[in-house]
Amino acid sequence: MKLEIKKIGNSTGLILPKELLAKLDLKQGEWLNVTENADGSIRLSTYDPDFDKAMQIAERAMKTYRNALAELAK
């Protein structure tokens, strides 16, 4: 599916077709998670506050233990 980036008032945004909204089970006013993959692509998914909290914890842990994780990756 190809989407055009458009000017919306003083902002820039995407207008999601109703078919995509139905597939993602989204309604106006709800939130999306945007996840960047290792290959540079992005993934859109419905917002899950539990997942968001887990990701924040994981990001803090990765930052705190960056050196140890780099050694383990060798």
Beta bridge partners of residue 11, listed in sequence order: 8
CB 6 within 8 A of CB 13: yes
3-state helix, strand, coil in the chain (%, to 5): 40, 25, 35
Better pLDDT: 60 or 25: 60
CA 71, CA 74: separation in Å to the nearest integer? Answer: 5
Q: Which pTM does this prediction carry?
A: 0.52
Whether the pLDDT of residue 46 is over 90: the answer is no
CA 56, CA 61: separation in Å to the nearest integer? Answer: 9
Averaged pLDDT of the chain: 90
